Amino acid sequence: MSSPLPSVPAASVLDLAPVVPVVVVNEVADAVPLATALVAGGLPAIEVTLRTACALDAIRAIADGVPGAVVGAGTVITPTQVTQSVAAGARFLVSPGWTDVLLDAMKASGVPFLPGVSTTSEVVALLERGVREMKFFPAQAAGGTAYLRSLAGPLPQARFCPTGGIGPTYAPDYLALPNVGCVGGTWMLPEDAIAAKDWGRVESLAREAAALRPRG
């Protein structure tokens, strides 16, 4: 069972690092060395997506074995996954979209969460429910920086973690927006590096990502 960890204030998930790695773990044995490399590179917030059979075990392994990591669960789409993720040690939750049922479960979980949005109406609906921090997905396909810039005027209270199609070329443009706290991405996790267990390369790419916007 995971040992107790300090809570993450809801307002701080977007501020832990400029980039949140979106991780797909295919082998549990990779979870700890991969997370260790990301943390060493300056990216402590790690979103492990629930897209593989071993994802919950990977979250548990990172929560237990990488003290500097703030591990979260991504692709959360059911209340059951909310419960399972928190039990495994997830310290935040990320969904690609949201429903009232899912939102209620995430609110009741006791950990910060980023429900996914791609339209203005979804943002307004979340603001009505008291939610101010959201995932903007799929970022590039849904309008990119131009869309988020347009939202900043009428809805300045909403803050976003854009994810989807973002790489090191586009990330600085997103991070320059006043309503963006961080971006989600996978470019620091190339498939060939993971297959080769080249954690040094992952750490190097993570360090480059962490430097995209200085934290003061």
Active site residue ranges: 47, 135
d(CA 47, CA 65) in angstroms, rounded, equals 16
**What tokens does 182 get?**
């961080």
Is 177 in contact with 152 (CB distance < 8 Å)?
yes
Is 62 in contact with 89 (CB distance < 8 Å)?
yes
Cα–Cα–Cα angle for 56, 192, 206, rounded to 5 degrees: 70
Is 90 in contact with 59 (CB distance < 8 Å)?
yes
d(CA 46, CA 8) in angstroms, rounded, equals 13
